[in-house]
Structure 1
Amino acid sequence: MEQLRDLWKFSARITSASWLLFGTVLLVYYAALSWMPSILKEEGLGDTAAFMTTTLMSGVGITAVLVSTALVDLVGRKWLIGVTAPLSGLALVAFAYMMHMPTGALVAIAVFGFLMQLTIPALYAYVPELYPTLLRASGFGYASSFSRVLTGFAPLLFGSVMWPVLGLKLTFGVLALAVVAAVVWMAVAAPETKGRALDEDAEGAAAPGAKPLAADQAAL
């Protein structure tokens, strides 16, 4: 509990942004991944077609991870997350509207899988860099744990409450808006870490010749 208090004492803005990003992005990802076969079968696709479609969503993600590792240092962590996370939510909404257009729905699923796997590696790189060395592991760990708690309830929340009550289009719309809200708060509350030295190098001394990230954090 002392580490948890230290995270919020260090920066409530950064910690809240980290938790919201992890929570919303992974909630959308695992809700879609868990329920996509059921959604597709509900729309009349057979088991094989549903399986092949979700395999496509995962398969394009492999390429996306490789692309993300290249882009994260070119465009920056915040830009990559801030663009791809909302667009992935929009792709799910587009999928809901194109359910009766097999080709369009297939493209939307593939786009969702690609964009989401651009987002997640960037998120995993970004959040630890927001914290000083002594808090880096716990900062990442607590944000990740928060997302695991949310995603643990995702099947119940999505399949038993949101989808039956709101319908698929509105459900995906709500999830997309949650991602947008998290990204907006990240833009306000957390600094860009691209090209910035972390507070200490492996020897415990400030890295030479690089602008320290602590200056941006203090400004927040």
Structure 2
Amino acid sequence: MILERLEALPVGSFQYKLLIVTGLGWLFDSMDTGLIAFVLPVLTKDWGLSPAQAGWIGSIGLIGMALGAVLAGTIADRIGRKRVFSLTVILYSVSTGLCALAWDYSSLLVFRFLVGFGLGGELPVAATLMSEYAPSHLRGRFIVLLESFWGIGWLVAACIAYLLIPHFGWQIAFVIGTVPALYVFLIRLHMPESVRFLISHGRIEEAKQIILMLERKLHVASYPFAAQLSPAEREQPKAGASFAALWRKPFRTRTIMLWLAWFGIVFSYYGIFMWLPSIVFAQGFAVVKTFEYVLIMTLAQLPGYYAAAWLVDIIGRKGTLSLFLLLSGICSFFFGHADSASSLLIWGAAMSFFNLGAWGVIYTYTPEQYPTKIRALGSGWAAGFGRIGGMIAPMLVGLMLAQSLDMSTIFLMFASVFVLISAIVLILGKESKQKTLEEITDPVCES
């Protein structure tokens, strides 16, 4: 009865408020990632860093993100989504502020690791929480819209870099990055615990109280709950998820598909976008002009999200993700072969459009592939494995640049990865649009 009443709730102020609250966390995460990308060329010049050292600044954060995603996902399936979400936001906010106080290269690496740990933990937990509250017929759209806050965060980072770094130095970017710590109070006021999480842990009365509260807020006729639980609620797996569950039938194929897709998309994204300002700068544009060009490319991310949000509930998660990955590969190939400012901007904008649209879909798709008992765990491990690709890519690009390899070779590598993971999703993926989370996973659990 509880889950039926949750699914029957009309879309209203609660869902949109939850979208904004979780979306702000996404925005702050993105802002931090964007800031380090914009700070990197300035920091490299100020500290006289080699390309390999600069690559490590990007990669160390991804090491933290991998560990954060895995540990936070595991803990969130045990102590709750809301609590872990709050803790990870505090960690990355405080650590970002410490980056402004870094006194040498080594101290910056330590602080960037802690920032990454918080970021990596927050993202899959936020996506899991949103997916467990969004109505099934609009769940894909809500999660892609949640991911669209990432594009807004990059725009904020680009504006900070463009307006403040040239005048106040790179430290100002990290000082501003401490602001999200205040946002935790907003989380505590406006974000309830996941009803599905509470049911899976036998906390039935708490789940009922949240439903009654939401029905009052959304002006739905409310009535007492029946004493009997519905079959779906009785069959909810109890707490005690393990990593081994991800590799049992029928989740094995899903886990392989998600891990490979995450690895490829994270490898390509961080390899390209962490170095994007430096790559544009290397083409002969001044630092200020570089920020302008990257800002234009970043603006293209937002329509990419909205296009994916529209398609994901029409042609499905699997088709949209595979298509956007394929087109990301084509655009990145031509971006690497751009021989003029106009072609650099056109292909860079198109690459941003499809790449970030694909990100929106994969965050929708991942939590849907697992039942409540292992949803955050499965999402965290997929994102964590993907971060290994993010660790490798910035360092690899730095090494390739140090070997004097040209842009066309580097971007041919990224294009090939995009095409490969597009095929993997198409072959191994399972469609999940327009279904409740229980319909996607529960029949499978019985097999």
- Answer whether TM exceeds 0.5 for this pair: yes
The 1:3/1:54 distance shift into structure 2, 3 A limit, reads farther
Written as runs of structure 1 = structure 2, the 5 A alignment for 1:193-204 is: 193-199=432-438
Alignment partner, residue 88 of structure 1: 328
Shift of 1:148: 2.0
The residue identity in structure 2 corresponding to 1:155 is P
| Residue 181 (str. 1) matches residue 414 (str. 2) | no
Bigger RCO (CA 8 Å, 6+ sep): 1
Q: Distance in 1 between matches of 2:288 and 2:332?
A: 21
Tell me the secondary structure at the aligned position of residue 300 of structure 2.
Answer: helix
The 1:163/1:55 distance shift into structure 2, 3 A limit, reads farther
| Equivalent position to 1:132, from 363, 371, 383 | 371
Gaps of 5+ in 2: 1-73, 75-240
| Equivalent position to 1:15, from 255, 271, 291 | 255
Shift of 1:128: 1.0
Residue pair 1:27, 1:147 contacting (<8 A) in 2 also: yes
Shift of 1:111: 0.5
| Residue 33 (str. 1) matches residue 273 (str. 2) | yes
Shift of 1:215: 8.5
Tell me the secondary structure at the aligned position of residue 274 of structure 2.
Answer: helix
Alpha-carbon displacement from aligned partner over 1:56-110 (angstroms, at most 9, x marks no partner): 2222212322332222111211111111112112111101111x22111110001
Q: Distance in 2 between matches of 1:183 and 1:21?
A: 8
Q: Distance in 1 between matches of 2:343 and 2:355?
A: 18
The residue identity in structure 2 corresponding to 1:161 is M
| Residue 169 (str. 1) matches residue 408 (str. 2) | yes
Q: Distance in 1 between matches of 2:395 and 2:273?
A: 14
Alignment partner, residue 352 of structure 2: 113
Residue pair 1:22, 1:144 contacting (<8 A) in 2 also: yes
Gaps of 5+ in 1: 200-211
Higher radius of gyration, 1 or 2: 2
Q: Distance in 2 between matches of 1:134 and 1:55?
A: 41
Alignment partner, residue 220 of structure 2: none
The residue identity in structure 2 corresponding to 1:68 is A
Q: Distance in 2 between matches of 1:76 and 1:216?
A: 20
Written as runs of structure 1 = structure 2, the 5 A alignment for 1:94-105 is: 94-98=334-338, 100-105=339-344
Alignment partner, residue 206 of structure 1: none
| Residue 143 (str. 1) matches residue 370 (str. 2) | no
Shift of 1:217: 5.6
Shift of 1:114: 0.9
Task: Give the aligned length.
Answer: 206
Alignment partner, residue 160 of structure 1: 399
The 1:217/1:46 distance shift into structure 2, 3 A limit, reads farther
| Residue 5 (str. 1) matches residue 232 (str. 2) | no
| Equivalent position to 1:24, from 250, 253, 264 | 264
The residue identity in structure 1 corresponding to 2:301 is G
Q: Distance in 2 between matches of 1:130 and 1:162?
A: 39
The residue identity in structure 2 corresponding to 1:70 is W
Q: Distance in 2 between matches of 1:162 and 1:135?
A: 41
Residue pair 1:190, 1:217 contacting (<8 A) in 2 also: no
The 1:78/1:96 distance shift into structure 2, 3 A limit, reads same
Q: Among the aligned pairs, what percent are the same residue? A: 25
Q: Distance in 2 between matches of 1:192 and 1:33?
A: 29
Q: TM-score under structure 2 normalisation? A: 0.43
| Residue 79 (str. 1) matches residue 319 (str. 2) | yes
RMSD: 2.3
Q: Distance in 1 between matches of 2:268 and 2:416?
A: 11
Alignment partner, residue 308 of structure 2: 68
